[in-house]
Chains A and B, each alone.
Chain A
Amino acid sequence: MTETLLALLPIYGVYLLAVLIAISCFGVPFPTAMLVLAAGALAASADLVLWQVIAAVTIGFVIGDQGVYALARRAGPGLLARMRTAKSSAATVARAEKLLNRRGTLAIFLSRTVISPLGPYVGYISGAAGLGWARFTMASVPAAVVWSSFYAALGNAFAAQLSATSALLGNAIGLASSITVMLVSALWLRRSWARRQASTHKR
């Protein structure tokens, strides 16, 4: 798929980029990082224009993010209500909502930059758990600017080593995301177990 999408890039240019980025915000696994790197690289050879690439990616990103938030806002509360009553997920949902309220801004910013594979999930959760629109947008728009500029500029700077840059960056982002999930879930489990210990000691 990467090759096919890449081949469309010089033809449809930044419009294609904006549309694909917006769709990928919903969790569709397009190779967006590679596409933006390649667009940055094509700007280095004057086939595209760098500022237009950054603008298109940012606009696509913001539109997609708003779409995810709006969708989750509408469909989410019903689903969450059901998960809250289900025994397997009730405790998890309650804690996730609390954590999101406390650390929401940071979670939204990081999940759109350093740990971007988690972006769609955090977007859906934010909308469903009723995180304020203004708070979501204030974190997601700057993150979109940072992500777009970083990938386009990196592709532009390392235009001649595109596949190496893409492979290394992709795996590094994957590593950062897995480590984040591992640490957060480990802390979560430890607290849960500690609370249980405390409550049995009291008895």
Chain B
Amino acid sequence: MIRAVRYLSRRQPLVLAAFVISTACTGYFGVKVWRNAVYFSDPVHRATPISGWMTPGYAAMSSGVEPAALLQALELDPSVRRGGRTLSEIARSRDVPVSELLDEVESILAEERSGG
């Protein structure tokens, strides 16, 4: 075994390095996949948190809310859909911090989901 390693490190150093690194990576990704599987088996963890890159339409849809309802609550034109602006852009045009708009969207979505 030691003889083999010594020989291969002389004759095939690149391949030996690839083997060592890929073995470490296999362990790393194996653990990550397993932890993902455990974590995301809880439906609560599966929801994507609302963030600035989302359009109102996507934010609503991913929360199971009718997009028109969110657009209306945000006082946006529900007929303009395609190529919609992101929540960050909307916050900028309203001169409010993104986090404030995101909080507002979260609370609207929560209200809509509870049937309010």
Contacts and interface: CB of A to CB of B under 8 A. Distances in A.
Interface of A: 3, 6-7, 9-11, 13, 38, 41-42, 44-49, 88-89, 91-92, 159-164, 167-168, 171-172, 174-175, 177-179, 181-182, 185-186, 188-189, 192-193, 196
A88 B47 contact: no
B4 interface: yes
Given A172-B33, A178-B22, A7 B61 contact: no
Main secondary structure of the interface of A (DSSP, over half): helix
B26 to A, nearest CB: 4
Interface residues of B, number: 49
A161 B8 contact: no
Contacts of A6: 53
B101 interface: no
Contact of B33 (A13, A91, A92, A168): A168
B51 to A, nearest CB: 7
Contact of A182 (B11, B19, B58, B83): B19
B36 A167 contact: yes
A46 B66 CA distance: 12
Contacts of A196: 7, 11
Contact of B29 (A11, A91, A174, A185): A174
Contact of B86 (A10, A92, A172, A193): A10
Given A185-B22, A189-B19, A192-B11, A13 B83 contact: yes
Contacts of B57: 45-47
Contact of B55 (A47, A167, A181): A47
Contact of A47 (B12, B18, B58, B63): B58
Interface in B7-35: 7-8, 11-16, 18-19, 21-23, 25-26, 28-30, 32-33
A11 B48 contact: no
Contact of B30 (A47, A175, A192): A175
B113 interface: no
B2 to A, nearest CB: 12
A181 B18 contact: yes
A181 B48 contact: no
Contacts of A9: 53
B13 A179 contact: no
Nearest to A181: B22
B11 to A, nearest CB: 6
26 contacts: A3-B51, A3-B53, A7-B86, A10-B86, A11-B86, A38-B53, A41-B58, A45-B61, A46-B57, A47-B84, A91-B11, A161-B46, A164-B48, A167-B36, A167-B40, A168-B33, A171-B33, A174-B25, A175-B29, A175-B33, A178-B25, A178-B29, A186-B19, A189-B12, A192-B15, A196-B7
